[in-house]
Every structure is written in C-alpha cells, then in structure tokens.
Amino acid sequence: MPSPTLFITHQSEFAAAHRLHNPDLSDGANERLYGPCNNPAGHGHNYDLLVTVAGPIPPQTGMVMDLNTLAALVREEITSRVDHKNLNSDVPFLAGLITTAENMCVVFWNHLSPLIEEFEGCRLHRIRLYENRNSFVDYRGLTS
C-alpha cells in the first residue's frame, strides 16, 4: 500500500527595506517600470514567508518533519539573514538581484531545497511570500 504524502507548512515573518531597481536600465525606465517601488531611498514590508515540505508520516513519530526543526532551519537559513535588513545592500545571497518577491522566492527555494532533502523522505513543495496582505507569490520549483 502506498504511504500517504502529507504537506506541512511553517509561517514566519520578517521586516525589511528594499527598492526595485534594474541597474541595466535608465532611471526613467526604472521609474516607469517600478513606479513608487523605485523610490531611491527605499520602502519596506513585513513579509510573511510560508515554507511547505512534503513527505510521508513515519509511524514512530507521526510527523513529516519536526516543526521546530523546520522553524529553526528557516530562521537560520533565511529569516535571520533578511529580518531588519535592507534587501538590496545587506544580504549576500540576494546581491545583484532585483528584489521582487518572485526573485526572492526562487532564491529561497534554491537555498532551502537541498537542506530539506537531507531529511528522510522529505522534499520542499512550495515557497509562498506575502509582501502585504493583498499580494503574494508562490514557487514550486522547476518540476511543478
């Protein structure tokens, strides 16, 4: 009998400043493209990050993965590096990136996915990033 696959999601928050700006474009093109998000001195958000892991339920634990372990992994690998930071200047793994929620989801996925796969039977299923309560981005990897 196939083992059921469950999906567990951990949500956390971080507060960061950023500015949308593509250095390959002129200032005018950036302003037309990003509008107020291109404001030179930046703006900011309370981001909500939802990380979903898929896996079977080991009968001995009843848990796909210990939620505290997942929480610690997300904090160490992601939120501790972006919380109370400026995403454009303070975060090495975002360096050179246009800090849209789309690009951040892909970077977070690429960073977390191999670490999740070290847990027996587990794989990263989805990264969801809210910029505010009315807009969010999902990424499910290349195979989705």
Tell me whether residue 84 is one of the annotated catalytic residues: yes
Q: Does 42 bind a second copy (CB under 8 A)?
A: yes
User: If binding is defined by CB under 8 A, does position 85 make contact with a second copy?
Assistant: yes
Nearer to a second copy, 117 or 132 (CB): 132
Residue 117 annotated to the active site: no
Best CA proximity match to 122, nearest among 60, 44, 57, 76: 57
Question: Which residue of 100, 111, 113, 119 would you call a contact of a second copy, by CB under 8 A?
Answer: 100
Whole-number Å distance between alpha carbons of 124 and 8: 10
Which helix (H) or strand (E) is 127 found in, with range?
strand 123-132
Is residue 84 a contact point for a second copy (CB under 8 A)? yes
Nearer to a second copy, 41 or 118 (CB): 41
Residue 122 falls in the annotated catalytic set: no
> Closest distance between a second copy and the C-beta of residue 118, in Å?
18
Q: Interface with a second copy includes 75 (CB under 8 A)?
A: no
Quote the DSSP letter at residue 76: I
CB 14 within 8 A of CB 99: no
Q: Does 67 bind a second copy (CB under 8 A)?
A: yes
